[in-house]
């Protein structure tokens, strides 16, 4: 029997019982759609988190003063004051091949005033590198210019909230504001970026790092942000930072380096596991559809016993009967999977409309896997009924009407 | 052509074993017209099923055209059924969802006959049985006689050597029964071997050879010329 004939024969058999066929296809479609949809949700969550991390900055390493012991051991009895991170420490890091950019950061809180309005905000002292590392954007004007970071110019960039509070709808560019005891010229306004690293970037004033150090009368840095020269360079950058700082701090390991990638990959692993387990749960619904197929095919076999007997009498070998019934299950699951894919895409489209910020995406592998599992389930659960049909004794089968 | 020696067949009915055929020797020549008779339970249907390779004997040798069928695999037996044997049943056994012409086409689909020649042969077979206008009807839209004629068209479409008919008129009224028998006899005249199982004496009188079975044995074997 030719494949085309097998397909035609099985299709005719299926369309002979439309209600039953429709119900199985529905069950299969729901199974496949739920696998795809849940995977899309999981994948969406993964991307969402990953996007959030990328908005912190790419290939980011954060250098903190002080050693955080993670290996256990008793806490130091005598107060072990860590050495401060200095601007010179930060500048010494720029000379390595694994490191692309270094942004030293000093943080303090100071009142910012213009005319008679004033507002207490966070003041960030940094360099032009911060702009690239943190993926900042400008609403107007320019960021802190490149130049010798040890020279503190009297310029500042303000967040959009601060700008609104102090200047309303007026342009802040070129205006002189007072921060703490010093006067700074406003050269730019940051674009809206929102929260990042726990700091509301709308409500800050950014000044050159040297100016901030004078302002707060300190030589210590709050932290150093380092951008590595690509993902592969991150471990090398981390090592370089540790050895360089150790050399400068007379052999003391008194800084902690946090890599953003380590955090990200942890989240990535967690969310991938979650996606897979959710997809696994959905796959159970697929196997329910498979059992349904088995059930209905068993009914079909007993209803069509005399047909099987006849087919054997007119010369169909058992293997052919097996193939015919397997083809029916396969066609059922294939059509079911097809509708399932359509259903899933309608579902993701609908969800994306309701939650536009959440990046719903159907991963290609999930699509393939769902359809593949559907067909395998159909075939697997089709084997038992098909074998039952193939094993029917033709004499018995024909004696039944 | 059909050669059975020492055929035995027992069935298990509940705890009892029933001897359906015991040590049956039976030979049919090519082109013969045989009626197998006997009361129900005498083993006549079992004999027909064994000849048609639907059932395997427990003991004995059955050769069909010098081919020892007891040695054949399931696939080989199926191929013999496809090409050499045509079945006609009491209850027609048409596939209910298929039209008359699709039912007739089935054996050719199983034998991988090319679709174009399938259509032509179906048309020819149906028109020779006066069923051309019923080709697109499903079995439930046909009368009993028409259904049996469709079944005969299906049984003969592969031009088998033997036609095995199990009570072919058992479910038909008198006139359509006679119709069906005439069609089968015409096929016999064209050279097909015809074996009919019946318990209608009027029918068996028409055959050239009558075989009477009783308790799994051949009791009478008579010929008329």
pTM, two decimal places = 0.69
Q: What is the reported pLDDT for A60?
A: 83
Q: Which of B28, B19, B16 is nearest to B52 (CA)?
A: B28
Q: How does pLDDT run across A330-363, given as a tens digit for each residue?
A: 898 899 999 999 999 999 899 888 888 788 888 8
SS3 state of residue A254: coil
Minimum distance, in Å, between the CA of residue B33 and any CA atom of chain A = 21
Q: Which of B23, B48, B20, B46 is nearest to B35 (CA)?
A: B48
Q: What is the reported pLDDT for B165?
A: 92
Is B74 at the interface with chain A, CB within 8 A?
A: yes
Task: Please indicate whether, in this complex, the C-beta atoms of B93 and A2 are within 8 angstroms of each other.
Answer: no
Task: Please indicate whether, in this complex, the C-beta atoms of B110 and A316 are within 8 angstroms of each other.
Answer: yes
Q: What is the reported pLDDT for A193?
A: 67
Task: Please indicate whether, in this complex, the C-beta atoms of B74 and A401 are within 8 angstroms of each other.
Answer: no
Residue carrying the six token digits 């064209």: B190
List CB contacts (< 8 A) between B20 and chain A. none
Q: Which of B78, B126, B151, B167 is nearest to A322 (CA)?
A: B78
Is A401 at the interface with chain B, CB within 8 A?
A: yes
List CB contacts (< 8 A) between B49 and chain A. 395
Average pLDDT, chain B: 90
Number of domains in chain B: 1
Q: What is the reported pLDDT for A155?
A: 93
With vertex at residue B172, the alpha carbon angle to CA B171 and CA B178, rounded to the nearest 5 degrees, is 135
Q: What is the reported pLDDT for A192?
A: 80
Q: What is the reported pLDDT for A69?
A: 53
Where are chain A's structural domains? Answer: 3-53+265-399, 102-225
Where residue B157 sits, what CATH number does that domain have? Answer: 3.40.50.300
Is B138 at the interface with chain A, CB within 8 A?
A: no
Minimum distance, in Å, between the CA of residue A292 and any CA atom of chain B = 23
ipTM of the complex: 0.90
Burial of A147 (0-12, 13-18, 19+ CB in 10 A): exposed
Q: How does pLDDT run across B59-74, given as a tens digit for each residue?
A: 889 998 888 888 888 8
CA A167/CA A155 separation, integer angstroms: 17
CA A20/CA A14 separation, integer angstroms: 8
List CB contacts (< 8 A) between A396 and chain B. none
Burial of B182 (0-12, 13-18, 19+ CB in 10 A): exposed
List CB contacts (< 8 A) between B91 and chain A. 306, 401
Give CA A326 to chain center in angstroms.
Answer: 40
Q: What is the reported pLDDT for A157?
A: 93
Is A68 at the interface with chain B, CB within 8 A?
A: no
Q: What is the DSSP string of B100-150?
A: HHHHHHHHHHHTT--HHHHHHHHHHHHHHTT-GGGTT--GGGS-HHHHHHH
SS3 state of residue B170: coil
Is B3 at the interface with chain A, CB within 8 A?
A: no
Q: Which of A2, A16, A398 sits opposite B93 (nearest CB)?
A: A398
Is A394 at the interface with chain B, CB within 8 A?
A: yes
CA B163/CA A44 separation, integer angstroms: 67
Q: What is the reported pLDDT for B225?
A: 66
Q: What is the pLDDT along chain A (401 residues), one digit of tens a residue?
A: 788 888 888 888 888 888 888 988 898 898 889 888 888 888 888 888 777 776 666 788 888 887 765 554 555 555 455 678 888 888 888 888 889 999 999 999 999 998 888 889 999 999 998 888 887 888 889 999 988 888 888 999 999 889 988 998 889 999 999 998 899 999 999 888 655 555 778 889 999 999 999 999 988 888 898 988 877 788 888 888 988 888 888 887 788 888 876 777 777 888 888 888 888 887 787 788 788 888 888 888 888 888 999 999 998 999 999 999 999 888 988 999 999 999 999 998 998 888 887 888 888 888 888 888 888 888 888 888 999 898 888 888 888 65
Minimum distance, in Å, between the CA of residue A308 and any CA atom of chain B = 10
- The per-residue b/e assignment along B145-167, b for 16 or more CB within 10 angstroms, e otherwise, is bbbbbbbbbbbbbbebbbbbbbb
As a whole number of Å, the CA-based R_g of chain A is 34
Is B11 at the interface with chain A, CB within 8 A?
A: no
In eight-state DSSP terms, residue A299 is H
Task: Please indicate whether, in this complex, the C-beta atoms of B74 and A317 are within 8 angstroms of each other.
Answer: yes
List CB contacts (< 8 A) between A5 and chain B. 109
> How high is the mean pLDDT in each 10-residue block of chain B (225 residues)?
89 85 90 90 88 90 88 89 91 90 92 89 91 91 92 92 91 89 92 91 88 88 80
List CB contacts (< 8 A) between A397 and chain B. none
List CB contacts (< 8 A) between B111 and chain A. 315
Domain that holds residue B44: 2-223
Q: What is the reported pLDDT for A123?
A: 92
Q: Is A360 left (phi over 0), alpha (psi -120 to 50) or beta?
A: beta
DSSP β-bridge partners for residue B112: none
Is A391 at the interface with chain B, CB within 8 A?
A: no
Is B8 at the interface with chain A, CB within 8 A?
A: no
CA torsion, ordered A151, A157, A159, A160, to nearest 10 deg: 180
Q: What is the reported pLDDT for B43?
A: 86
Percentages helix, strand, coil for chain A (3-state, rounded to 5) are: 55, 20, 25
């Amino acid at each position: 029997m030719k494949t085309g004939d097998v397909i035609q024969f099985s299709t005719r058999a299926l369309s002979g019982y439309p209600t039953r066929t429709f119900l199985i296809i529905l069950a299969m479609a729901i199974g496949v759609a739920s696998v795809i949809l849940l995977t899309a949700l999981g994948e969406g969550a993964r991307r969402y988190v990953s996007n959030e991390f990328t908005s912190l900055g790419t290939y980011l390493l954060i250098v903190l003063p002080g050693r955080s012991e993670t290996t256990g051991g008793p806490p130091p009895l005598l107060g072990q004051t860590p050495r401060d991170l200095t601007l010179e420490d930060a500048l010494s890091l720029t000379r390595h091949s694994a490191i692309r950019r270094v942004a030293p950061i000093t943080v303090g809180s100071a009142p910012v005033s213009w005319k008679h309005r004033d507002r207490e905000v966070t003041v960030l002292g940094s360099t032009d590198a911060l702009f690239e590392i943190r993926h900042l954007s400008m609403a107007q004007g320019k960021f802190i210019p490149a130049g010798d970071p040890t020279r503190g110019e009297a310029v500042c960039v303000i967040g959009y909230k601060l700008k609104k509070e102090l200047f309303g709808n007026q342009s802040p560019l070129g205006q002189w504001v007072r921060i703490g005891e010093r006067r700074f010229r406003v050269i730019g306004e940051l674009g809206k970026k929102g929260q990042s690293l726990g700091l509301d970037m709308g409500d800050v004033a950014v000044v050159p790092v040297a100016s901030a150090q004078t302002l707060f009368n300190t030589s210590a840095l709050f932290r150093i942000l380092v951008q590595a020269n690509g993902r592969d360079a991150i471990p090398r950058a981390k090592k370089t930072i540790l050895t360089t700082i150790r050399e400068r701090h007379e052999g003391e390991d008194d800084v902690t380096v946090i890599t953003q990638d380590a955090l990200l990959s942890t989240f990535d692993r967690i969310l991938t596991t979650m996606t897979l387990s959710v997809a696994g749960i959905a796959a159970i619904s697929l196997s329910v559809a498979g059992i349904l197929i088995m059930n209905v095919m068993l009914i079909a076999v007993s209803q069509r016993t005399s047909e099987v007997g006849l087919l054997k009498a007119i010369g169909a070998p058992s293997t052919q009967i097996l193939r015919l019934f397997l083809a029916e299950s396969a066609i059922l699951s294939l059509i079911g999977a097809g509708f399932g894919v359509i259903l899933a895409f309608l579902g993701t489209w609908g969800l994306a409309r309701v939650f536009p910020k959440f990046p719903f995406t159907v991963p290609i592998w999930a699509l393939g896997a769902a359809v593949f599992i559907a067909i395998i389930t159909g075939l697997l659960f089709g084997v038992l009924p098909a074998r039952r049909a193939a094993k029917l004794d033709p004499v018995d089968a024909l004696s039944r009407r | 052509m059909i050669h059975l020696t020492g055929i035995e067949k027992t069935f298990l009915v509940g705890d009892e074993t029933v001897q359906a055929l015991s040590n049956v020797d039976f030979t049919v020549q090519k082109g013969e017209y045989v009626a197998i008779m006997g009361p129900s339970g005498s083993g006549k249907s079992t004999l027909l099923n064994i000849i048609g390779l639907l059932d395997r004997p427990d003991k004995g040798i059955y050769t069909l055209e010098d081919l020892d069928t007891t040695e054949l695999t399931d696939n080989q037996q199926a191929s013999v059924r496809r090409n050499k044997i045509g079945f006609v049943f009491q209850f027609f056994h048409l596939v209910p969802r298929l039209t008359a012409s699709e039912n007739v086409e089935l054996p050719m689909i199983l034998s991988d006959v090319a679709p174009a020649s399938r259509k032509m042969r179906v048309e020819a077979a149906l028109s020779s049985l006066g069923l051309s206008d019923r080709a697109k009807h499903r079995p439930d839209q046909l009368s009993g006689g028409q259904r049996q004629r469709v079944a005969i068209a299906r049984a003969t479409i592969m031009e088998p050597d033997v036609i095995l008919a199990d009570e072919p008129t058992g479910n038909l009224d008198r006139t359509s029964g006679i119709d069906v028998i005439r069609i089968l006899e015409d096929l016999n005249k064209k050279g097909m071997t015809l074996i009919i199982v019946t318990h209608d004496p009027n029918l068996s009188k028409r055959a050239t050879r009558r075989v009477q079975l009783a308790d799994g044995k051949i009791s009478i074997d008579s010929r008329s010329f």
